[in-house]
């Protein structure tokens, strides 16, 4: 599977309060959460972001709260993927469980600029920045995680397996 999308850039320590502020946590509806995604950092982000776009961030992306509403909001915006220097632990877990694709790749954050078009080969973890002729290697997603992501997250994945059995 190959992803192609426009890059939105964020810095280090993008916390879950920024991804989706707590004042909106009286729902878990993806469409409503998506409308407020990143609003304290960039109030117009939710209007600007297009399906398939990619976030590139620095260290410790998703630090803070355990709210699964954070990956839900990002996925709800149509973002195909988040590439960061590193991820906070609970966010990392939640992203996979929710079926949001993420890649750790320290070099990408330095090389890419907002608005660049990025191409990612999901199986190999190869990242290309079109127009700049740059390519990077992120840690590839293990096959069972890829299957989980294809199924749309942990629960649909488990349900599919249960049905098969």
Partner 1 sequence: MGMTITEKILAQGARLAEVKPGQLIEVQIDMALGNDITAPLAIDIVRSAGVKSVFDREKVALVPDHFVPNKDIKAATQVKILRDFAKEFGIVNYFELGEMGVEHALLPEKGMVLPGDIVIGADSHTCTYGALGAFATGVGSTDLAAAMITGKVWLKVPESMKFIYHGKRPPFVCGKDLILYAIGQIGVDGALYRAMEFTGEAIDELPMADRFTMANMAIEAGGKNGIIAPDKATEAYVRGRSRRKHRFYASDKDATYVETIEYDVSRIEPQVAFPHLPSNTRGISHVGDVPIDQAVIGSCTNGRLEDLEIAAHVLRGRKVAPHVRLIVIPATPWIYRQAMHQGLFDIFLEAGGIISPPTCGPCLGGHMGILAKGERAIATTNRNFVGRMGHPESEVYLANPAVTAASAVLGRIGGPGELGVIPKD
Contact stretch for partner 1 (CB under 8 A) within 107-115, 128-136, 137-145, 154-162: 154-162
The verdict on 159 binding partner 1 (CB under 8 A) reads yes
The residues near 113 (Cβ < 8 Å, ≥ 6 apart) are 7, 9
Site string for partner 1, 51-80 (x = CB under 8 A): --------xx--xxxxxxx-x---------
Contacts of range 31-40, beta carbons closer than 8 Å, 24 or more positions apart? 31/76, 33/69, 33/72, 33/73, 33/76, 34/73, 34/76, 34/77, 34/78, 36/73, 37/73, 37/74, 37/76, 37/77, 38/10
The verdict on 41 binding partner 1 (CB under 8 A) reads yes
DSSP-based three-state secondary structure for 21? coil
Site string for partner 1, 85-114 (x = CB under 8 A): -x-xxx--xx--xx----------------
Backbone angle region of 65, left / alpha / beta, with phi > 0 → left and psi within -120 to 50 → alpha: beta
The verdict on 22 binding partner 1 (CB under 8 A) reads yes
Please, which residue, 17 or 121, has the CB nearer to partner 1? 17
Site for partner 1 in 114-143 (CB under 8 A): none
Binding site for partner 1 (CB under 8 A): 13, 15, 17-18, 21-23, 25-28, 39-41, 59-60, 63-69, 71, 86, 88-90, 93-94, 97-98, 153-155, 158-159
């Amino acid at each position: 599977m190959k992803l192609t999308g426009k890059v939105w850039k964020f810095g280090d320590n993008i916390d879950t309060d920024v991804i989706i502020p707590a004042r909106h946590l009286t729902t878990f509806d993806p469409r409503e959460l998506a409308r407020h995604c990143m609003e304290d950092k960039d109030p117009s982000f939710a209007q600007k972001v297009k399906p398939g776009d990619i976030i590139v961030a620095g260290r410790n992306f998703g630090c803070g709260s355990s709210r699964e509403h954070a990956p839900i909001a990002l996925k709800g915006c149509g973002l195909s993927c988040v590439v960061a220097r590193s991820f906070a632990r609970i966010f990392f877990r939640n992203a996979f469980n929710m079926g949001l694709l993420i890649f750790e790749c320290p070099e990408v954050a330095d090389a890419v600029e907002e608005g660049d078009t990025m191409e990612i080969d999901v199986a190999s973890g190869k990242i290309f920045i079109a127009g700049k002729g740059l390519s990077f290697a992120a840690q590839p997603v293990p096959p069972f995680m890829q299957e989980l992501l294809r199924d749309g997250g942990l629960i649909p994945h488990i349900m599919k397996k249960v049905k098969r059995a």
